Structure 1
Amino acid sequence: MTGVVGALVEAWDELRIHRLRVLLALIGVAVAVAAITAVTAAVDMLSQAMREQNERDSGRSVTLQVNAWPATAEAASTDTEAIAAQYDLALERYGIEYSSRTLYSPVPVRFPDGTRGVDMQAVDPDLGVINRIVPVQGRWFVDQDVDAFAPMLVVNEAFMQSLGLSDLSTHPTVLIGDTDPVRATIIGVTAQRWTGEMPSAFWLYDQFERWWHVDPQMGQPAPTLAVWVPTDQADALSERLARDVQLAAPGWQVDVYDNRMNGMSGLDGATRWIGLGFGVFALLLGGLGLVNISLVTVRYRIREIGIRRSFGATSARIFFGVMLESVVATLVAGFVGVAIAVAGLKAVPFDRLFGSALQDTPPFPVSAALVGLGAALAV
């Protein structure tokens, strides 16, 4: 133990004496470690951004979609209340925490330039959690909104532009319906998803049933049920949900789909390997400078090494001391590189780069710092 401590102290003294040489050698290592650490952390953030974007379209992992439609002409005339009741029973039976009924329907909306049909989606409040829906203005639905005396809408920016409005400061309302319209209150605005997006809106399923009626022959025959379930229970729940709904609706075709086959795992792995390859390449470039200067330094220290041998120092002790100089130096450079990476990532506006702010921003990964320090020691 005394020998190891002595070698470390000796290595530190050598670094102090030759600090200019060491500083020049370690600049490249520090930059390379900062690069590999930042890339590792950035890949985690990129993966999270891609995951959240995918979940906005298909729901969190794992989301099951229960679809039912009549398989025969006789079944088409069947009331869908039995299916809705079975949905409620299944949610209670299996203890599913997050669920939402979903039904699409065009609804006439009275804009300043005339009445137009708008694609409206009747949902439950939990869809905001399942699909990560966060309005850029206002708010999303809460359970208490179901009992409101007038329907509430969460619309997109194109809907607001059609009303000639830019924000919710005037507490806007709009008439929806044709022969017997009802005035709805706009409580939230979602961001525009793509250029040229048409006006659309969400409203609560219970309010949809109260104030609007859709002919099953003209639209979606029954609502879709979306449920967010644990990954290890997805397969079993898929079979049970399909069986239960099928028993409640004879003559209907019932299918359950999940969002696991979306290629995200392979995409995450690809970006991680690309980022790691970039970081390793940067580290090799940074390490070349240190190796080059170390080799040149050993040539100039031949006389010093000879003197130490004459005083009884063994070859192993000399080799160990020279090696520890590099280890201690690169470890210091590793800490500096990690600090640079942390500061740099905090200054990067990822919400602008990714197009939207991350809801679940991952903390700076400890694995990235460990990779950086481990790479520095390896050099």
Structure 2
Amino acid sequence: MNGILTGFFGAIVEAWAQLRIGKLRVLLSLVGVAAAVAAMTFVIALGQVSVDAINKVGEKYTGRQGTVTINVSPTGKGLDQALQADDAPEASADESTGSNGAGSSGGSGGSSGGGSSSADGSGASTTTSAATAARISGAMSSFVERYDVKSWATTYTSNVRFSFPDGARSVPTQTVSLSYGLLHHKSISQGRWFTAQDEDDLSPSLVVTQGFLDAMGIQQFTGPITITSFSPVQTSFTIVGVLEAEDLSLIGCSGDPERDAGLPCTQPVTAFALNTPYESWLPKDATRPAPTLEVWAGKSGAKDVASLAKKDLDARFGQGSTRTEDNLQGSSMSSSASTFTQVVTAAGVFVMLLGALSLVNISLVTVRQRIHEIGVRRSFGATSRRIFFSIMLESVVATVVAGVVGIGIAIMGMRFMPLSSFLGIPVETTPPFPWWQPSSALSPPPPWARWRASSRRSWPPASGRSTRSATDAPSGPAP
């Protein structure tokens, strides 16, 4: 054992001595390798960091990659008469008041849920009866509980009439669950996002846009602010946070283009309300939009979650009641990010090949010196294995040193890179430097890996009102 360690450390010492002797050759090798590694690392790191920044901007509007949006519009098809009377579209009494079913509200809620704080202000989502909205909300809650969903949120948009200094104004308000901010990367510039403690407050909590705060005539948010609402319920809301100001070059101007022609663009006036305290103030018979359920399933589980949601919710509300969509297909931002990644990866590989070519050239130039060194070592009795190991170790030591130097240069370059100016999009937080490792070995299991066993154990739900047979249970892979 001692002989092996002595030989190993002796070879390292000899390699270091050879590095000190052949300074010119080593310097050329170090410069070539360091330049190639620095260029490749910088290009690929810039691509990955840029894609991460672009995705974060997109996730503010559409949710994290792999988010499935689920809307329910009860049809009553395939249900017995008793269930059809409960879950069919609105009764004639609702129709006479102008209610148009939950499907439109689900779509609007999905759009608003996928959108940012810049609601279009087009008005409230189409409302449904309180009973129908409650049944849909209860079915969605049962769905996430049954399949142990960890990352989900509900949302719907309605108009709330608030009291401003210049008079009352209807403000598009998204009523969201607690985890909505996590799914959409909501960034708070002042105050905070909702917390679990807010659910017990008698005064519903609000997170507003900068435009909302400006409309109140407040320049700086220094603490909770109270504002009164007149409809759909008269109560006092407590503003607990203010969102980052929107980049108007990305979302455009809010309001009527013809009416506001010539006026400067202003920040959108919208708000987010926490659902639990807000809904506790609503009258039991108040009409409201049906909620939209957003489930983060990841890129690999989106299709499975969508299929499972359709089978589960259609069994409760009738065939064709459930509409699902994800943000993986048809996303221009995702497509641009993927193309950008491919381009920078190809550029990085090309730069690395150039660096390798320069290293080969340096090795060819110094081959005569290598032959001389080998002859001298052989004349002193060195074995072929010892000579080969020493020369290879010399190259390894030099390459490792050059690689560390190159990566250090790339990291320093990324630290001082003005990403916002370079990308043309707001970068709120600089993403960390990417360290490439095998994702299959280091990544945790997908959040839907345990759904297969869970779905088979709990399907069909014992308490559900489904009339489907056991053969209608989902047979495909559950997320």
TM-score by length of 2: 0.62
Deviations 1:328-353 (A, max 9, x none): 43333122212333444445566886
Alpha-carbon displacement from aligned partner over 1:201-239 (angstroms, at most 9, x marks no partner): 0002233334457975xxx74121223346666545434
Cα shift at 1:106 = 1.8
Q: Is 1:202 aligned with 2:272?
A: yes
1:377 — aligned with what? Answer: none
- Verify the 8 A CA contact 1:342 1:364 in the aligned structure 2: no
Match of 1:110 in 2: 163
Q: Which moved more, 1:55-64 or 1:315-324?
A: 315-324
Change in Cα spacing, 1:173 to 1:238, as seen in structure 2 (3 Å) is same
Partner residue of 1:148?
201
Once the two structures are TM-superposed, the CA of residue 104 in structure 1 deviates from its matched residue by 0.6
Q: In 1, distance between residues paired with 2:231 and 2:371? A: 96
2:158 is aligned with 1:87: no
Give the drift of 1:293. 4.4
Q: Deviations over 1:315-370 (max 9, x none)?
A: 999898777655543333122212333444445566886623459x55641449xx
Task: Assess if the C-alpha contact under 8 Å between 2:203 and 2:238 holds in 1.
Answer: yes
Give the Cα separation in 2 of the matches to 1:251 and 1:337. 60
Aligned counterpart in structure 2 of residue 257 of structure 1, from 309, 325, 350? 325
Which residue number corresponds to residue 372 of structure 1? none
Match of 1:271, as an amino acid?
Answer: F
Give runs of aligned pairs for residues 33-52 of structure 1, distance below 5 A. 33-52=37-56
2-structure distance, mates of 1:17, 1:180: 85
Q: Once the two structures are superposed, what CA deviation does each residue of 1:146-205 show, in whole Å capped at 9, x if it has no partner? A: 221212110011111222223221532222225974322110111123314411100022
Distance 1:324 1:176, change over 3 A: same
Confirm or deny that 1:124 pairs with 2:177: yes
Q: What are the residue-to-residue correspondences of 1:172-251 with 2, within 5 Å?
A: 172-177=225-230, 181-195=234-248, 196=253, 197-211=267-281, 216=287, 221-229=289-297, 234-249=302-317
- Displacement of 1:255 after TM fit? 1.4
Partner amino acid for 1:254?
T
Number of aligned residue pairs: 364
Is the 2:42–2:410 contact (alpha carbons within 8 Å) kept by the matching residues of 1? yes
2:426 to 349, 355, 358: 355
Q: Is the 8 A contact 2:209 2:270 kept in 1?
A: yes
Higher RCO by CA contacts (8 Å cutoff, separation 6 or greater): 1
CA spacing shift, 1:342–1:284, aligned 2, 3 Å: same
Whole-Å Cα distance in 2 between the matches of residues 252 and 290 of structure 1? 64
Conserved 8 A contact 2:206-2:238: yes
Q: Is the 8 A contact 1:168 1:187 kept in 2?
A: no
Deviation at 1:9, TM superposition (A): 6.1
The percent identity for this pair of structures is: 38
The SS at the match of 2:73 is: strand
Q: CA–CA distance in 2 between the matches of 1:239 and 1:289?
A: 54
Q: Which residue in the other structure is 1:32 paired with?
A: 36
Superposed CA RMSD in Å reads 4.0
Matched, 1:56 2:60: yes
| 3-state SS of paired residue (2:237) | strand
SS of corresponding position for 1:260:
coil
In structure 2, the residue matched to 1:136 is 189
Aligned counterparts of 1:139 and 1:258: Cα–Cα separation in 2: 28
Q: How much does 1:12 deviate?
A: 4.2
AA paired with 1:261?
A: Q
Moved more, 197-206 or 163-172: 163-172
Deviations 1:105-162 (A, max 9, x none): 1222222223222111011112122222231211111233122121211001111122
Contact 1:122 1:204 in 2 (8 A): yes
Whether the 8 Å CA contact 1:121–1:203 is kept in 2: the answer is yes
Q: Is the CA contact (8 Å cut-off) linking 1:107 and 1:119 kept in structure 2? A: yes
Correspondent of 1:334 among 395, 403, 412: 403
CA contact (8 A) 1:52 1:358 kept: no
Equivalent pair of 2:161/2:232 in contact (CA under 8 Å): no
Partners of 1:154 and 1:198 lie apart in 2 by 13
- Aligned counterparts of 1:124 and 1:15: Cα–Cα separation in 2: 63
Contact map agreement 1:246 1:254 (CA 8 A) in 2: yes
Note closer, same or farther for the CA distance 1:332–1:100 as it changes in structure 2 (3 Å cut): closer
* Structure-to-structure mapping, 1:259-298, within 5 angstroms: 259-261=327-329, 269-287=338-356, 289-298=358-367
Q: Tell me if structure 2 keeps the 8 A contact 1:154–1:189.
A: yes
Distance 1:308 1:41 in 2: 43
1:375 is matched with which residue? Answer: none
- Per the normalisation by structure 1, the TM-score is 0.76
Give me the whole-angstrom Cα distance separating, in 2, the residues matched to 1:252 and 1:171. 45
Partner AA of 1:279 in structure 2: G
Partner letter of residue 335 of structure 1?
Answer: V
Contact 2:59/2:184 (8 A) holds in 1: yes
Equivalent residue runs for 1:3-22 within 5 Å: 12-22=16-26
Letter of the structure 1 residue corresponding to residue 40 of structure 2: I
Pair 1:28–1:268, CA change in 2 (3 A): same
Tell me the amino acid that sits aligned with residue 276 of structure 1.
T
Do the aligned residues in 2 keep the contact of 1:172 with 1:185 (CA within 8 Å)?
yes
Aligned residue identity for 2:50: L
| Inter-partner Cα distance in structure 1 for 2:43 and 2:306 | 39
Give SS of 2:188's match.
coil
